[in-house]
Amino acid sequence: MWRTKDNSLKITYLTRLICRLFLYITFSLLFALFIRIFLCDFFRVPSNSMNPVVIPGDFILVEKWTYGARILTRYKFGRYQEPPATRMPGTGNIHRGDVVVFNFPYRECDDTLCMNLNLCLIKRCVGLAGDSLSIVNGCYHIVGLTDTACNVSKQKKILSLNNRQEFSYMNIFPYDTAFHWDVINFGPLYIPAAGSSIPLTSRNYILFRKLIAYETSAEVCMKDSVVYINNSLAQSYTFRENWYFMAGDHTINSYDSRYFGLIPEKYVIGKALVILSSKEIHTGKTRWERMLKHIE
């Protein structure tokens, strides 16, 4: 009789312990999920396009509170559909020079903008919404600013290349022979801001066709030098979103907005804040000198 009572007490205690452990694990997982969704996320840097600010093997923290966390409102969507998302209020805006993590703007093909949730890039924001950007002798310039934008020394190194012809304008945005742009001389390119309007000339059609199609989810085409949006004549267009020009500091070896074009604000994940740890990718050796290094 007493033995049965002892066993019952042990079972009750064990049940309470399991319940507490389950609640602790559930709370910890929910708290970690809350942190990842609303406050910050973590990424391993795979390439040297931002060398020396971040290098391959760096494990970085990306904060979301400044720009506001981007929340996917539905996780089921078609293969060619844009993931539906909304952005929470943030404490600030994207500034020129910020090191930003964002989703690659193409998923299945390079003719239609579509957020690629499986591929994230880290670059520096060189051009803000409303800027007009040019590259002159390899260096970025913003109309109205006297200083060269961002990392000047890295930009100038591209002039030392022995064979610049490898950077053919055919590989450079907007991929049209009407624009003899390359990484040495590029632009001027207007970076659309929400609420700004442009005339739909043949030149602007080439530059902004994919952006307009992305914002309107409509077919955009030109017939007899006239632009049509869903078969309706359009002489001008007012942008609905802010767009940004993202570029790597290591300009010689960076696949960025010079090649794939502008990035909509919706694709921005957050601002790179600090290197939490770093390992040499070939040897696995820890780079202690890079730990807790602020990214700027």
Residue 2 above 50 pLDDT? no
CA-angle at 26, arms to 22 and 27, nearest 5° = 115
Residue 14 above 70 pLDDT? yes
Which position has the token pair 């880290």? 122
Average per-residue pLDDT for the chain: 88
High-pLDDT (> 70) share of the chain, %: 90
Residues contacting 177, CB < 8 A, separation 6+: 169, 170
pLDDT tens figures, 263-293: 999 999 999 999 999 999 889 999 999 999 9
Using CA atoms, how far residue 233 sits from 18, 195, 203, 239, 244, in Å, is 67, 20, 17, 17, 28
Token pair in block for residue 131: 């800027």
Backbone angles phi, psi at 252, to 5 degrees: -65, -30
Our measurement of the distance from residue 206's CA atom to the centroid of its chain's CA atoms, rounded to an integer in Å, reads 23
- In whole angstroms, give the CA distance from residue 294 to residue 273: 6
8 A C-beta contact, residue 74 and residue 104: no
Token pair in block for residue 36: 């990842």
| pLDDT for residue 168 | 47
- In whole angstroms, give the CA distance from residue 237 to residue 207: 13
CA dihedral 206, 102, 49, 128 (to 10 degrees): 60
8 A C-beta contact, residue 126 and residue 96: yes
> What are the contacts of 169-176 at 24+ separation with CB within 8 A?
171/259, 172/258, 172/259, 173/257, 173/258, 173/259, 173/260, 173/261, 174/206, 174/207, 174/261, 176/206
| pLDDT for residue 95 | 95
Q: Which of 33-47, 89-103, 150-164 has the lowest mean pLDDT?
A: 150-164
| pLDDT for residue 72 | 85
Residue 160 above 80 pLDDT? no
8 A C-beta contact, residue 123 and residue 281: no
Confidence band for 50, pLDDT divided at 50, 70 and 90: very high
214 in helix, strand or coil? helix
| pLDDT for residue 1 | 44
pTM check: above 0.85? yes
- In whole angstroms, give the CA distance from residue 202 to residue 222: 8
- In whole angstroms, give the CA distance from residue 258 to residue 247: 7
8 A C-beta contact, residue 69 and residue 39: yes
